[in-house]
Amino acid sequence: MRLLIRLRAQADAAYDNSHFHELRGRLWKGLRGTEYDELHDAERPVGLSFSNVFPWGDIEEGDERTVLVAATDQDVLQAIAESVITDRKFNVGEMPFRVEEVTTVAPDVGEPGTRGTLETGTGVLVRIPPWQADKYGIENEGDEATFWQPEYSLEPFKTQLENNLDKKHRLFCDDHLPGPSERDGDLFDEYNLIKTFAVPVEVTQGVEMTYVLSKWRFGYRVRDDHHRRHLNLALDAGIGERNALGLGFLNIEKDSKQLPGATSSAATDGGQR
């Protein structure tokens, strides 16, 4: 489940590529004073992810922009929705907006047999713990995790991505249901890397770190209902680490879904465009 927040620009502004911290602060403001406030400092995945402000590009007063917010808990989304509806001023750094409309959308990868493509709306953070470095031939003499990069091969990326989704599955899905690593087959059929890049991220107030992130297009074919649940969990909670910072937000690529027995099907379920 996710919120689709329509925004109207209140002034001309240059698009701020480093606006994630301000956007995160605006969204977390909606949870302040609620029973979900403590999630802000939780040392675990919180089941919340969000897009950037899109479409990208410099802004003129009156322009429309959109933000998507996804969560595993509908009540968390409800709290954020009530906040942005009550206080429609939505300033993201130097980009001033007003909330025009808030709706809910429920993207779904589709029934078993459906094919499609998931794309990362924001960069994915995958780190390889130091005790796994030798396994992948990575030189790491320290005790800090290593950011995944293409020269380390796809294997550690896939492993860490699946391990991370396993953790989210244990947190947000019923105990008796098998997680991603308990089922045969990869999470995705295709892993198409778009780019890697380094970006400064304010991880807590006043503390900035440089993360190496990557953007992807993932092809999939839904094998069964368990696989469908795993992929939809990734849509709700994000993939990789630090989703609550705005990393690892996923969308179903527009027009990519092909239902069983069909040649094409428009994606109409609320992914970022």
Structure tokens at 231: 């992929």
Ranges of H-type helices in 114-265: 154-172, 225-237
Tokens 């990519």 label which residue? 256
Are β-strands 207-221 and 115-120 bridged in parallel, bridged antiparallel, or unpaired? antiparallel
What is the separation of C-alpha 4 from the centre of its chain, rounded to a whole number of angstroms? 14
Cα(182)–Cα(163) distance, rounded to whole angstroms? Answer: 11
Distance of CA 130 to the CA centre of its chain: 25
Which conformational region is residue 39 in: left (phi greater than 0), alpha (psi within -120 to 50 degrees), or beta? alpha
Is residue 41 among the annotated active site residues? Answer: yes
Which of 41, 143, 174, 184 is labelled catalytic?
A: 41
CA within 13 Å, CB half, 235? 24
Catalytic residues: 41
